[in-house]
Amino acid sequence: MSTPEEITAQRARWMTVAQKAGTPLMSVLLAMIVGSLIVLASGGDPVAAFSSLWEGAFGNAYQTGETIMRSTPLIFTGLAIAYGFRAGLFNIGAEGQLFMGGLAAAWLGIVLAGLPWFVILPVMLVLSAVAGALWAFIPALLKAKVGAHEVITTMMFSFIARYFVSYMLNGPLKAPGPGGTPGTIPISAVLPPQSTLPKFTDLFPWLPPNNAHVGFLVAIGVAVVVWLLLKYTTVGYEARAVGFNPFAAQTGGVSIALTTVWSLCISGSLAALAGASEVMGVHHRLSDQFSAGFGFTGIAVALLAKNHPIAVIPAALLFGGLAAGSGFMQLNANVPDKLVDIVQALVIFFVAAESIITWFIKRRQKEATRNA
């Protein structure tokens, strides 16, 4: 039995959920409307374009699988960016941590070959996350100790990570060519089956064929963990306090330096999981082209999700769906797949514009109450 107060409190909570979700949904809708106008202006048929985009994203089991597969890394990077933002940090270098995570996964997958899957998979995921955390640790330390801005340092570390991966793929990790000849392309050896994440169809053979893999479930689990971490642990509490108001946090005995280091490392570990899950679930080997800018799309995902870990999941599905549907749309509606880029850009634009608008409204309200 709930008391009337509890019921009203619950209702109020749902109201705020609806309010919070309302504006991002509106941005997506607006982006589609403006996108339609653009299609119309260039002589296309917007209805055909968007319906084939939908077909391509969720039209059948295979396409739905594509969407899920493409969303998986975006959930991880979206979580990484969102966690950073909650702590007042802009981890623009998620792409670099993703590369380090991928590298760690590829190396471990080969080195640990022979262990059973139920040991090797968790070890690979955890140690890849640690690799990402370590890669974020140096920028975090620089930020905490000397105030070097994380936007610059993590970005620069991304370049180092990418070229380090290239070096490894051209050297120590390079796969040998056929018949024991030296390899010619910068690509790692294929991981043994027990160190890859199975496809859904591997587990449930009755499913229609598609490419979605278990990494998606891991991503959803991690999203829930991040949500709990932020809401119910002292680490998350301190991160949010520092993110909202570092001065008040400091006055309350929270170490800003320590919180910064922790938060950026957690963010880095989440980004690294994106790399690990791509290597383990999709490519089953490491190449230097294995990320389609997931680290950067993650920023858009976090923005659309308003940095809420659970909301990151639908936001990532939207961007994953756009990516999966764009080729289909180009083929069937004869609309260039660049439209998807435009829609993506518009979504981000309207989400950003929305926060500008609410910022304005808030400011007006604040002024009004202050002056009342």
Partner 1 sequence: MPVLELRGVTKVFPGVVANDDVSLTLERGEIVALLGENGAGKSTLMNVVYGLLTPDGGEILVDGNPVRIRRPRQAIDLGIGMVHQHFMLVETLTATENIVLGREPTRLGVVDLAVARASVVELSERYGLKVDPDKRVMELSVGMQQRVEILKALYQGARILILDEPTAVLTPQEVTELFGVVRSLVTAGLSVVLITHKLEEVLASADRVVVMRDGRVVGETRPSDTDEISLARMMVGRDVVLRVEKGPANPGEVALEVTDLDVDDDRRLHAVKGVSFQVRRGEVVAIAGVSGNGQSEIIEAIVGLRRPRGGSITLLGHDITHSSTASTIAAGVSHVPEDRHRRGLVLEFDLAENLILGDHRRMPFSRRGFLRPKAIAATAKKRISEYDVRTPSASVLAGNLSGGNQQKLVLARELGRDPECLIAAQPTRGLDVGAIEFVHKRILAERDAGKAVLLVSLELEEVQSLADRILVIYEGRLVAEFAGGQVDAETLGVYMTGGGRGAASGVSTTGGVSA
Binding piece for partner 1, criterion CB under 8 A, among 92-100, 162-170, 198-206, 248-256: 248-256
Q: Which token pair is 235?
A: 């680490």
Q: Write out the binding residues for partner 1, residues 94-113 only, by CB under 8 A.
A: none
Q: Minimum Å distance from CB 246 to partner 1?
A: 10
Tell me how far apart the alpha carbons of residues 66 and 55 are, in angstroms, rounded to a whole number: 12
Residue 251 CB-density burial (10 A; 0-12 exposed, 13-18 middle, 19+ buried): exposed
Q: How many residues bind partner 1 (CB under 8 A)?
A: 28
Q: Minimum Å distance from CB 3 to partner 1?
A: 13
Binding piece for partner 1, criterion CB under 8 A, among 25-33, 68-76, 172-180, 239-247: 239-247
Q: Which token pair is 65?
A: 């699988």
Q: Write out the binding residues for partner 1, residues 349-368 only, by CB under 8 A.
A: 368
Q: Minimum Å distance from CB 234 to partner 1?
A: 5
Position 369 contacts partner 1 (CB under 8 A) = yes
Tell me how far apart the alpha carbons of residues 202 and 215 are, in angstroms, rounded to a whole number: 13
Position 250 contacts partner 1 (CB under 8 A) = yes
What lies within 8 Å, CB to CB, of 221 at 6+ separation is none
Position 86 contacts partner 1 (CB under 8 A) = no
Query: Which among 86, 122, 28 has a CA at the least distance from the CA of 238?
Result: 86
Position 233 contacts partner 1 (CB under 8 A) = yes
With contact defined as beta carbons under 8 Å apart, do 240 and 178 qualify? no
Which DSSP symbol is given to 195? Answer: G
Could you say which of 254, 310, 336, 355 contacts partner 1 (CB under 8 A)? 254
- CB nearer to partner 1: give 250 or 355: 250
Could you say which of 30, 155, 217, 235 contacts partner 1 (CB under 8 A)? 235
Q: Write out the binding residues for partner 1, residues 188-207 only, by CB under 8 A.
A: none
Strand partners, 115: 113
Q: Minimum Å distance from CB 89 to partner 1?
A: 16
What lies within 8 Å, CB to CB, of 264 at 6+ separation is 84, 87, 89, 91, 136, 137, 139, 140, 143, 150, 154
Position 257 contacts partner 1 (CB under 8 A) = no
Q: Write out the binding residues for partner 1, residues 2-61 only, by CB under 8 A.
A: 5, 9, 12
Q: Minimum Å distance from CB 238 to partner 1?
A: 7
Residue located via tokens 């089991």: 61
Position 244 contacts partner 1 (CB under 8 A) = yes
Binding piece for partner 1, criterion CB under 8 A, among 101-109, 168-176, 184-192, 249-257: 249-257
Tell me how far apart the alpha carbons of residues 153 and 139 are, in angstroms, rounded to a whole number: 6
Q: Minimum Å distance from CB 265 to partner 1?
A: 16
Q: Which token pair is 167?
A: 């070096």
94-111 and 256-278 helices, crossing angle to 10°: 60
Q: Minimum Å distance from CB 65 to partner 1?
A: 37
Tell me how far apart the alpha carbons of residues 186 and 165 are, in angstroms, rounded to a whole number: 10
Residue located via tokens 């991304």: 158
Q: How many Cα atoms occupy the beta-carbon half-sphere of 55 within 13 Å? A: 13
Q: Minimum Å distance from CB 143 to partner 1?
A: 19
Could you say which of 117, 237, 296, 349 contacts partner 1 (CB under 8 A)? 237
Could you say which of 68, 131, 144, 241 contacts partner 1 (CB under 8 A)? 241
Q: How many Cα atoms occupy the beta-carbon half-sphere of 58 within 13 Å? A: 10
Q: Which token pair is 372?
A: 């009342």
Binding piece for partner 1, criterion CB under 8 A, among 57-65, 252-260, 319-327, 353-361: 252-260
Residue 194 CB-density burial (10 A; 0-12 exposed, 13-18 middle, 19+ buried): middle
Residue ranges in contact with partner 1 by CB under 8 A: 5, 9, 12, 231-235, 237-238, 240-241, 244-245, 247-255, 368-372
